[in-house]
Structure formats: C-alpha cells, structure tokens
Chain A
Amino acid sequence: DSGVTQTPKHLITATGQRVTLRCSPRSGDLSVYWYQQSLDQGLQFLIQYYNGEERAKGNILERFSAQQFPDLHSELNLSSLELGDSALYFCASSSLNRGTEAFFGQGTRLTVV
C-alpha cells in the first residue's frame, strides 16, 4: 500500500460528459502529480501541485483542469470527454526532502463510451 488513495477505481461514462477524479496524498506529502496512461502508452505528465499551488504543467488539455485543496487532496476534472480520453489516470505524491521519490496510487481507469 503506497498510502496514496485514488477514487473511484473505475469509471465508465459517455462522450461529452464531465468527471472528477480524486486523489488523497500520503500523510505529510505536499506535492501531488497527475499522469495519464493510455493502453500500451507511456506515462504522460499532466500537472503538478505543491501545497495548493500549481508548480508544473505538462501536456494537459484545456478540457482538463485540476486543483489541490487546503487539506492537500487533489481533484482532476475532465470535461467534454472523448473516446480518446479513455485511460488510466494516476496520482502520485511526494515530499521535497525525498528528492524525486514519489508514491503512486492504484489509478482510476476511465472508460468513455
């Protein structure tokens, strides 16, 4: 158990809909990262937050947005969903005193039909 909790584990929704994925980081970790992994693809970095502030942004679509709340949990919002958005979405958390050692959640598998 990595200590990072992602909900829901599975999500099936229709094209054009909007969903919210939730991530609770390990206790004490201030950094949260979001990744997208499509079938047989690598991990695509979406966005990173540190203590509520956006720190880095990757190839995140304009239809996607995220935030980190004062209690440090984070949410990734995906809107106007397309078939191509079907993927595993991972959240990771880390603490700056651990360098680039991060802990990943088990992911949310999103299926858009």
Chain B
Amino acid sequence: NAGVTQTPKFQVLKTGQSMTLQCAQDMNHNSMYWYRQDPGMGLRLIYYSASEGTTDKGEVPNGYNVSRLNKREFSLRLESAAPSQTSVYFCASSERTGGTGELFFGEGSRLTVL
C-alpha cells in the first residue's frame, strides 16, 4: 500500500533553475497539500487543493506554483529557485479539508538551492 509518493527524494539546484516536485496518492482522497519544513519554523503550508480542480494559497506561496493534475496527483513547481527555498518539502493528502480526518504524509523531498 503506497499511500503518498513524492519524487524526487533529493535534489540540488542552482539559483535560477526550475524544477517540479511530483506527488501522487492512491487513497482516493479529495484534498492534497504541500508543506515545507525548516528548522525552528515547523511545518508551513505552501498551497493546497481542497478538491480536484481547485487550489488555494497557504501561508508561504511566494515563489511556487501548483497543479492539481487529477484526483491522484498534485505537483509543486519552483520557476526560479532561490537559496531561501532550500527546505524539506512534504506532500500530504486527506479525505477532505477542515474535518477531523487524518492527513497522510509522503516521506519528503529534500531540496538544496546553491
């Protein structure tokens, strides 16, 4: 049972390069999320998708774009990477937003921007 799968797990970029983090879930969840985790800052929401066809900004959306490709997949794109985007990125999914249900997380993608 795969759950939430993120790729790649590690990536090193140079400033100004672009890349896309991929996320797929196999639990038929409606809602998907992208968080970043930084030391001393905890987990901060970048973007989320409450349902297929919708996306909303979270706490720290600047410098990122997202695409909810279909119900299973939710990608995060960095158009022009900056050193401040060095972080560990987590994708998560849940049955729906705003409820009492569990969020299921991927294993994370560690991104370094030089």
A and B pair up: no
Question: Interface on A for B, CB 8 Å cutoff?
Answer: none
